[in-house]
Amino acid sequence: MYVLFCSYGNDSIALIQWAHERGLKDVYCLYSDTGWSADWWPSRVADGEAMAQSYGFTTARTQSEGMLILVKRKCGWPGAGGQGQFCTAELKVIPALNWLDINDPDNEASAMTGVRRSESKHRSDAPEHVPASERHGGRELWQPLVRHTDEMRNALIRRAGFEVLPHRSLECYPCINANIDDIRLLSEDRIQLIDVTEKALGFTKKRKPRVMFRSARRKGAVGIRAVVQWAAAPRSRDQMEMFPTECDSGYCGG
């Protein structure tokens, strides 16, 4: 049994296509619903699932309480105020481990992701094989696209009948690790939702506002409206690349 962890971004579509071309059998494509995707992302997920099913793969989703309820329960955003990146654990890893415990009780499955080394410096030494991955309940982790370039990945996506998206997965919109490009993609509706949530969360005991993004990494921008303004400022591509951030859980992105 192979369990492909799919956000249905570019790398996930490429991974599904790769698994099909490789002739893998007994394949499950598992999507983690974080309740925080872009409005149109569920239709992208449905298209990706339809493609996977046409290859004879089984698709499944895990549910979670959703980002906004989680943030309110924790009285703050993940990664802010020293709270750590709890969104991945709460919205994805724990629901996925529960799913795996039910569907693979003997720990025989191989977990698979579409992580690639060329995505970023951060992932430049991502392993292809991990014999026992803690985040996958001790199961084997196989990341067969680690050596795939953008061109190789894009060719897989096109053979799957999909266009290459010009941005990262929008399974979380935005991710707490959003870079400048991701912030620039935000709709007014989503900015407003974050703004209202930030205001409702108020301040810490030390009178620090409970905002989604750390101001220290964004020229002192406090609150989503200021962060959006900061991101909108013209920059060279080199300057843009000074702000790449991402999660290394293997559950996010792609």
Residues at the contact surface with ligand SF4, assessed by CB under 6 A: 34, 78, 85, 87-88, 91-92, 171-172, 175-177, 247, 252
Please, where are the H alpha helices in the chain? 10-21, 41-54, 67-74, 86-87, 94-103, 150-159, 180-184, 188-201, 224-232, 237-240
Q: Which amino acid is at 234?
A: P
Q: How far is the CB of 45 from ligand SF4 (least distance, A)?
A: 14
Label residue 100 left, alpha or beta by phi (over 0 means left) and psi (-120 to 50 means alpha).
alpha
CB of 84 to ligand SF4, least distance (A): 11
Put the strands of the sheet holding 129-133 in their side by side order. Answer: 58-62, 27-32, 2-5, 110-112, 139-142, 129-133
Report helix, strand or coil for 148: coil
Nearer to ligand SF4, 14 or 70 (CB): 70
Closer to ligand SF4 at the Cβ: 78 or 114?
A: 78
Q: How far is the CB of 1 from ligand SF4 (least distance, A)?
A: 24
CA atoms within 13 A on the CB side of 193: 15
Which residue, 62 or 88, has its beta carbon nearer to ligand SF4?
88
Distances (CA, A) of 6 to 68, 203, 231, 241, 252: 22, 36, 28, 26, 9
Closest distance to ligand SF4 from the beta carbon of 135 (Å): 12
Measured from the CB atom, the residue of 79 and 144 that comes closer to ligand SF4 is 79
Nearer to ligand SF4 among residue 12 and residue 88 (C-beta)? 88
How far apart are CB 77 and ligand SF4 at their closest, in Å? 9
Shortest spacing between CB 7 and ligand SF4, in angstroms: 8
**Residue placing its CB nearer to ligand SF4 in the complex, 89 or 152:** 89
C-alpha span between 131 and 124 (Å, rounded): 19
CA 154 to chain centre: 19
Q: Which residues pair with 60 in a beta bridge?
A: 30
